[in-house]
Amino acid sequence: MTRQPAFQLKRTETIESLGIDVQEYVHSQTGALHYHIAADNQENVFLVAFRTVPEDNTGVAHILEHTALCGSEKFPVRDPFFMMTRRSLNTFMNAFTSSDWTAYPFASQNRKDYFNLLDVYLDAAFFSRLDPLDFAQEGHRVEFSEAGNTSSPLVYKGVVYNEMKGAMSSPVSTLWQTLTRYLFPSTTYHFNSGGDPEAIPDLSYEELIAFYKSHYHPSNAVFMTFGDIPVEELQQRFEEQALSRFEKLEDEIKVDDEKRYFSPVRVEEAYALDEEESSAKTHHVLGWLLGPSIDLEQQLKAHLLSQVLLDNSSSPLRYALESTDLGLSPSPLCGLEDSNREMGFMCGIEGSEPEKATEFEELVIATLTEVAENGVPQVHLEAALHQLELSQREISGDGYPYGMSLILKSLSSAIHHGDPVALLNLDPVLEKMREEIQSPDFIPTLVRELLLDNPHRVRLTLRPDAELANRRDVAEAVALEKIRQSLDESQAQAIIDKAQALEARQSQVDDESLLPKVTIADVPAEMNIPQGTEASLKDFNYNYYAQGTNGLVYQQVIMELPALTDEELKLMPLYSHCMTELGCNGMSYQDTQAWQSQVCGSISAYSSVRGNIEDEQKVTGYMTLSGKALLNKQCDLTELMYKTLNTVRFDELSRIRELVSQQRTRKEQSVTGQGHSLAIMAAVSLLSPAAQLSHNLRGLQSIREVKALDDSLNDEQNLIKLAGQLEQIHQKIITAPRRFLIVAEPEHQQVLASSLAQQWDTAPDDSQFTPLNLAPVRQGVKQAWTTSTQVNFCAKAYPTVPVEHPDAAPLTVLGDYLRNGFLHRVVREQGGAYGSGAGQDSADSVFRFFSYRDPRLSETLNDFDAALSWLMSSEDDEQKLEEAILGIVSSIDKPGSPAGEAKQAYHSALFGRSMEQRKGFRQRILQVTVADVKRVAQEYLNPENASVAVVTGPAAAAELDDSFDVIAI
């Protein structure tokens, strides 16, 4: 094994279960750490992380993360990060701010592209320009609300400022930040690393620079890489482009031990809720501070305890939280938090009242005491270990690239001076724990040591306050007015000058040739789509995809959706959820969930409906029951899936009631995090049958529906009626035509198919089957959906064409062309929104504009129109066209997990998106011209055809014109 001379190899370890070699290096001159995961995988990953430990709520680490990507020594352009996203074939590009680290990761399958990105990332991290105007844009600034008018009110602006206003509009984010503030009274976790909007304006530019100089140094850095590029090539770049210019720092940045409480702390605080009705909106959470996260044995024991207590409805603490009448459902904050230096364990309920706090705490302590006294069934411990083994073996990659998942899994330990390699190889510790769990005192001892006898416990009650947001707004306005009144003429002029200078900087045209790039010539000729085989065993037909799944098997039963009434269609998400959350085979739901955890890694059901590739008004739909398990559990998985589908019980009325309440709270909490997606669904809701169904089942309308349903179930007769409706849907589903999908390694095909055929030997009588048929719809809306939020989400949509139409390809390119050339600058940089974009959705035959966590409303909607004017008046720009095409092809070619790619290929083909169709569409993307882009924009994006929807607060909605239908979520 060769290495770069500036690095010392500390050790290497082979992890056979993952097929990787992990090497640990240290840079001799600076002490920088480098962990390289050598793998036979062409999707190479890079990450550099810095320990960042803020000591206040100003969001310094978060603002620095943004500002560091706004130009560097070697690449003195205004926006190299976003410019590289469109000059690249990356499969992942981002930057993260965690509670005690900041990381800059990317991934690419193209070596030239990988090294291009590496050059930019290294320079951005270690030699950032940190221009004061970039700090003003990304962090915070004050401006006069009327440009140039010093008598108009001052307002705060800034991308991070607006991002965190949006983030802290979420009650769950407020709950988490408040709990950690008390759970960690003295260390960095006491503070909001993202930034509290009330404190962000306190951060000075000088403090940002000081933080950069002290934290963004190789001595405080961890490099992590994955893939098939030789390590010496990577280290040569690290050395030449960054590390050789630094000397080692003597001061070490680390998180100290937290000061411990000697008795539990009980607190009550408030969160902003801009609604008149505040009953059943209180959160109660108990949190414990545990031991160090870098102790792998302690960490896995804590994980095991969390699994045993909270994994599913058969787990004692989860059952207590689900079944209690003190609240509507368990808190999203249930479980183990192991990314900080010291771990935390949390459990709670939501949908409660403030006065229920003591009863809630007593319930939790009583449940834990019972576990400490009586233990848990041994089979539950075995199941929890089984889940840990599954998580160790599964090759992921459908969310993050697989190598990125491995890196992020081990990063926290590296940051805290632990052993990240051990976190990638759990097998030795799992073997030891298999022996330890044989002791009947194993779980009781853990419960007592970690929880019952641990006085560092916080009980937090977070209640709604309908006036809190208004009081904050008033306080902010008063503070800003005080600043305005204190300004002398020169200070007021300085604010105007800065605003003008920033606008000029945002409008300047940078020399893009300073940045490296790939071109269309670098695009692979072919896209990689797994091919399956259709096979039969006796009279049993199935599809098999041979993929490298590392000892896991994936099974799916796919049923064509039958004709359903409107009322039944509305219940489909609940029905899908109930299928795997209720009992089956004569067992209760608790016993069924215990069975699930013993057998499989997951089991779920979902429905999918899509428009035809040639006509969005013609739809098809499928119900899919999906499961995965280790190979030695495949017979058990097959039986579980068969019994789940054929013997599910809809007579567990109290459980159905619980599931509706849980669904309600999850949907209500989704608005501030997914507001742009919800606004898009509303805007396109009457432009195609599938879009209308999505809006009703997953969008804003579904929130209203589930709230009404939940309220109606206070009447027992309505609950009985609901159970009957779910049973009726089920009877239609189980008589539908079925298909079977298996994904596993090639050598297991016969064994797996034989097991499947033996269990599913009888096909249903589908002779009377009638498929789903949705009525055509093609009209616009103009809606303002109101909720408790400090920011806005805007969407504007236009009817276009389905994917097989020749114009679908240029419309797809148009989205990236408008985002890169206009929307990013005007809506994000100048307007202050956290994000914006545009794109074609050929499944619904619509083109959509959107903005995310946006301080503006009508102005952004106007900017969507202005984007089209800019397009038609601007000169043809072949560079922008190439960048847009690269972005589209990069997203098309983005790899997933072996199983995920197979499932995507199969389900795409079910909806007519065959391998040939997908390859043909990709080829048409590569042939789009600027003339095509302008032509389709002019033809389809006509203002009178626009359909508009926004998610906003009641006050902002009141300022919209009368043409909007205002709807309270």
pLDDT in tens, 512-534: 889 999 999 999 988 999 999 99
Taking the C-alpha atoms of residue 966 and residue 24, their distance in angstroms, rounded to an integer, is 58
Strand partners, 783: 949, 965
What CA–CA distances, in Å, run from 856 to 104, 152, 154, 523? Answer: 29, 18, 16, 38
CA angle centred on 35, ends 30 and 36, rounded to 5°: 125
Rounded Cα distance, 859 and 866, in Å: 10
What is the structure's pLDDT at 397?
79
How far apart (Å, rounded) are the C-alpha atoms in residues 825 and 508?
Answer: 10
What's the length of the chain?
Answer: 969
Residue 2: predicted pLDDT? 65
Report the run of H or E that residue 286 belongs to, with start and end: strand 282-292
Average pLDDT score, the chain: 95
Query: Quick check: 226 pLDDT over 60?
Result: yes
pLDDT given for residue 783 in this prediction:
98
pLDDT at 727 over 90: yes
Percent residues over pLDDT 70 in the chain: 100
Burial class, 64, CB count within 10 angstroms (exposed 0-12 / middle 13-18 / buried 19+): buried
**CA-to-CA distance for 274 and 783, rounded, in angstroms?**
19
Rounded to whole angstroms, how far apart are CA atoms 717 and 492? 67
Average pLDDT over residues 643-647: 97
Query: What are the Cα distances from residue 518, in Å, to 85, 123, 472, 886, 921?
Result: 11, 19, 48, 9, 21
Report the distance separating Cα 620 and Cα 612, nearest Å.
7
Full set of structural domains in the chain with CATH: 7-154+188-254 (3.30.830.10), 265-398+414-465 (3.30.830.10), 533-759 (3.30.830.10), 782-968 (3.30.830.10)
Q: In terms of Cα–Cα distance, which of 859, 665, 735 is closest to 172? A: 665
User: What pLDDT, in 10s, does the model give residues 799-850?
Assistant: 999 999 999 999 999 999 999 999 999 999 999 999 999 999 999 999 999 9
At residue 46, does pLDDT exceed 60? yes
What is the per-residue pLDDT for 459? 98
CA angle 332, 194, 157 (to 5 degrees): 120
The predicted structure's pLDDT at residue 282: 97
pTM of the model: 0.93
pLDDT at 63 over 90: yes
- Indicate whether 131 pLDDT > 80: yes
Mean pLDDT in residue range 256-284: 93
Tokens read off for 438: 């044989």
Look at the block and give the residue holding tokens 């969310």: 399
C-alpha to C-alpha distance for 123 and 129, rounded to whole angstroms: 10
- The candidate with the shortest Cα–Cα distance to 49, out of 194, 218, 209, is 218
The per-residue pLDDT for range 318-354, each reduced to its tens digit, is 999 999 999 999 999 999 999 999 999 999 999 999 9
Buried b (16+ CB within 10 A) or exposed e, 842-877: bbbbbbbbbbbbbbbbeebbebbebbbebbeeeeee
Three-class secondary structure of residue 22 per DSSP: strand
pLDDT band at 393 (very low <50, low <70, confident <90, very high): confident
Query: Which string of DSSP letters, residue by residue, matches 139-157?
Result: T-EEEESSTT-TTSPEEEE
Instruction: Supply the pLDDT for residue 540.
Output: 84
What is the signed CA dihedral for 701, 702, 703, 708, rounded to 10 degrees? 100
**pLDDT tens-digit profile of 470-488?**
999 999 999 999 999 999 9
Interatomic CA distance for residues 232 and 239, integer angstroms: 10
pLDDT range class, residue 1, cuts 50, 70, 90:
low
Cα radius of gyration (the chain): 28
